[in-house]
Amino acid sequence: MVEKKDTTPLLMESLTVPERVMLGQMTSVGGYKVLVKLFDAACSRATADVVKLDPESADFERVLAERQRRARAINEFCASVLKSIDYHVDLIRQEAVAEEQEVVDIVAKTFGIHKVPPKAKKVIGEPVIPEKDRS
């Protein structure tokens, strides 16, 4: 029986809120996209190394197995890191939305101020049709 891989996000329980916020800040910096690009290039290179093997070489099967193992490890590592970052950033965003809603509810309860729905955006150049004339 094959043991199931652990696919939970890295440091799922041990990252603090400030550390999660720092991850979120990192994803909004231009260098993060370069890091993702580097991960993609590493995965592509490892996969290409498997494809470039000469099937007529004497130790083809041994080299093939090792390169496949290496490519798989690199791909799984990169995916694990990126998915973990996404998990932690999404968690912070969800907490921020919940906190914002809690503040709005407290203000509404204390001062009787209710959240006003956002106004519809007006498109420039589009004629304004009164409500009664719309069909």
- What are the DSSP calls for 26-50, one per residue? HHTSHHHHHHHHHHHHHHHHHHHHH
The residue segments making up the domain with residue 76 are: 17-133
pLDDT of residue 135: 52
Alpha-helix residue ranges (DSSP H) falling in 52-122: 60-111
Beta carbons within 8 Å of 69's beta carbon, 6+ residues apart? none
Is residue 127's pLDDT more than 90? no
Residue 127, in any domain of the structure: yes
Fill in the DSSP letter of residue 51: H
Residue 65, in any domain of the structure: yes
Residue 12, in any domain of the structure: no
- Residue-wise pLDDT for 9-41, tens only, equals 999 999 999 999 999 999 999 899 999 999 999
Residue 6, in any domain of the structure: no
